[in-house]
Amino acid sequence: MTLAGDAGRTKRRGGSGPAIPAPSAQNLLRWYDRERRDLPWRVAPGGRPDPYRVWLSEIMLQQTRVETVARYYERFLARFPTIETLAAARLDSVLKLWAGLGYYARARNLYACACEVVLRHDGRFPDTEEALRELPGIGPYTAAAIAAIAFGRKATPVDGNIERVIARLFAIETPLPAAKPELRRLAERLVPDERAGDFAQAMMDLGATICTPKRPDCALCPWNEVCIARARGEAEELPRRTPKSEGALRRGAAFVVVREDGAVLVRRRPREGLLGGMTEIPGTDWSADFDLRNASRAANRLIPFVSAIEWRRRPGSVRHVFTHFPLELTVFVASAPKETEAPREMRFVKRERLDGEALPTLMRKVVAHALPEDHQT
DNA sequence: CACGCGTGGCT
DNA sequence: TAGCCAAGCGT
């Protein structure tokens, strides 16, 4: 029998139903020893992992699926087998091997980190979370993962998989991200004194293969008998999330100039930031306090050859939801003579060529709203 | 510190 | 089908 005070786990839930024993790390480790996936960066059981390889795999695995990383990891390792070879390379050749993997800041940080480890740490990774955390591209999760997996330290990396497993195991109803500290505390209590690295990997494997976001395969789970969410039949509902606040509505105006030959006036957005480098219909800034009465002045400034009287406001508006704010654009349309030349930094694109442009969905909506006749079938 | 980064898997 | 979205890190 588990002792009282063990996470309150032996209390009867809601005054009814059987007590559920606390989950044990050993149980999960037994499953891991049996079902462990053979991944390129994993060493044979009992083997001593190379911190360089652990680090490389952890960086590649940030935001990236195991199957994808596997295709890149070995090729990368063949070209840069040690941290010295990596640090001696040119950034360009590192980026070349990273091409297609995405999140290229990771590759830049990877290279910077290799240089720093070689120059300032004598080519050896520091073996504490705190020191690892100082290196470029290594945040709280990765520092804990390397400390545990490469150095056998009792650290607790917490990624999205582990948050999900813990939330279900203990039926944490608090929504994310508020639940993060609580989930971390619960995860820390499960970590065994020995094999913390295997335990972390086992948790992530469990989250990736069995305790999946949708339709978890509880029948195969080594912890199914100790999982409170499973007992309550609500595993799939957890973890809950607070719907992220939409952000304040922003408004603006877009000005669609259609030349007699059907070409539409566009420009390129600044290279950085939202929709960076994409093509757009010229328009005002988007702001919470946008005032439609300023629209004609803005149009005049942007596109001087169209006089105010020629702009026709389209009824209604175009709505679009970005990750962090909803946007409502009022659309104005004007015609321009065939020989009209585009203002500075703008150009005319033939209507049928618009599909080949880097035109974001929002801007496609704007065009469709401005020229509805194009879309009738 | 809220935001954006790249890609592929999911519905 | 194409739009949605993951979920570590740096800024």
CATH, residue A364: 3.90.79.10
| Together in a domain, A195 and A263 | no
pLDDT at A71 over 80: yes
Smallest CA–C1' separation from A272: which nucleotide? B4
Q: Mean pLDDT across the stretch A1-26?
A: 59
pLDDT score for A9? 55
| Together in a domain, A200 and A288 | no
The more confident residue out of A249 and A197 is A197
The reply to whether A323 falls in a domain is: yes
| Together in a domain, A144 and A290 | no
**What's the CATH code of the domain at A34?**
1.10.340.30
CA distance A333 to A306: 10
| Together in a domain, A188 and A326 | no
pLDDT score for A7? 45
Mean pLDDT computed over every residue of chain A: 87
- Cβ atoms of A114 and A79 within 8 Å: the answer is no
Protein CB footprint (7 Å) on chain C nucleotides: 3-4, 6-10
Q: Mean pLDDT across the stretch A187-214?
A: 93
Of the candidate ranges A5-14, A16-25, A292-301, A357-366, the one whose mean pLDDT is the lowest: A5-14
**Which of A35, A58, A134, A246 is flagged as catalytic?**
A58
Nearest CA to the C1' of C4 belongs to which residue? Answer: A323
pLDDT over 70 for what percent of chain A? 90
pLDDT score for A360? 73
DSSP string, A78-140: HH--SHHHHHHS-HHHHHHHHTTS--THHHHHHHHHHHHHHHHSTT----SHHHHTTSTT--H
A87-101, A115-129, A196-210, A247-261: range with highest mean pLDDT: A115-129
Which one-letter amino acid corresponds to residue A207?
G
pLDDT at A85 over 90: yes
Q: Mean pLDDT across the stretch A173-195?
A: 90
CA distance A94 to A108: 8
pLDDT at A13 over 60: no
Smallest CA–C1' separation from A106: which nucleotide? C9
Which one-letter amino acid corresponds to residue A55?
W
| Together in a domain, A188 and A281 | no
The model's pLDDT over A99-127, given as tens digits with 9 standing for 90+, comes to 888 888 899 999 999 999 999 999 999 99
pLDDT score for A19? 82
pLDDT score for A374? 67
The more confident residue out of A275 and A229 is A229
pLDDT at A144 over 80: yes
CA A141 to C1' C8 (Å) is 7
Strand C-proximal protein residues, Cβ less than 7 Å: A 62-63, 103, 105, 109, 136-143, 158-161, 164, 213, 241, 321, 361
Residue partners of A152: CB distance under 8 A and separation at least 6: A195, A196, A197
Any strand B atom closer than 7 Å to A2 CB: no
pLDDT score for A240? 85
pLDDT at A169 over 50: yes
CA A324 to C1' B2 (Å) is 9
The reply to whether A72 falls in a domain is: yes
| Together in a domain, A204 and A323 | no
Protein CB footprint (7 Å) on chain B nucleotides: 2-11
The reply to whether A225 falls in a domain is: no
pLDDT score for A282? 93
Element (H, E) at A151: helix A140-151
The model's pLDDT over A308-328, given as tens digits with 9 standing for 90+, comes to 769 999 998 887 776 667 788
CA distance A243 to A245: 6
CA distance A68 to A81: 20
| pLDDT band of A273, cuts 50, 70, 90 | low
pLDDT score for A18? 65
CA distance A350 to A75: 44
Of the candidate ranges A1-15, A133-147, A192-206, the one whose mean pLDDT is the lowest: A1-15
Show the tokens assigned to A24: 């044990």
Tell how far CA A2 is from the center of its chain.
40
CA A215 to C1' B11 (Å) is 14
| Together in a domain, A90 and A197 | yes
Which one-letter amino acid corresponds to residue A232?
R
Any strand B atom closer than 7 Å to A105 CB: yes
| Together in a domain, A203 and A312 | no
pLDDT score for A15? 42
The reply to whether A242 falls in a domain is: no
| Together in a domain, A19 and A148 | yes
The reply to whether A227 falls in a domain is: no
| Together in a domain, A317 and A201 | no
The reply to whether A240 falls in a domain is: no
| Together in a domain, A42 and A188 | yes
Of the candidate ranges A121-135, A140-154, A171-185, A199-213, the one whose mean pLDDT is the lowest: A171-185
- Cβ atoms of A155 and A196 within 8 Å: the answer is yes
Nearest CA to the C1' of C10 belongs to which residue? Answer: A137
Coil/strand/helix, residue A172: coil
| Together in a domain, A279 and A331 | yes
| pLDDT band of A5, cuts 50, 70, 90 | very low
Smallest CA–C1' separation from A215: which nucleotide? B10
Active site residue A234: no
Instruction: Count the domains in chain A.
Output: 2
CA A140 to C1' B1 (Å) is 16
pLDDT at A128 over 90: yes
Smallest CA–C1' separation from A62: which nucleotide? C8
CA A55 to C1' B4 (Å) is 24
Show the tokens assigned to A249: 């509505």
Smallest CA–C1' separation from A244: which nucleotide? B2
The reply to whether A273 falls in a domain is: yes
pLDDT score for A343? 93
The reply to whether A244 falls in a domain is: no
Domain residues for the domain of A66 are 13-162+174-210
Nearest CA to the C1' of C6 belongs to which residue? Answer: A63
Ranges of beta strands (E only) in chain A are 250-259, 264-268, 279-280, 312-313, 318-321, 326-336, 346-349
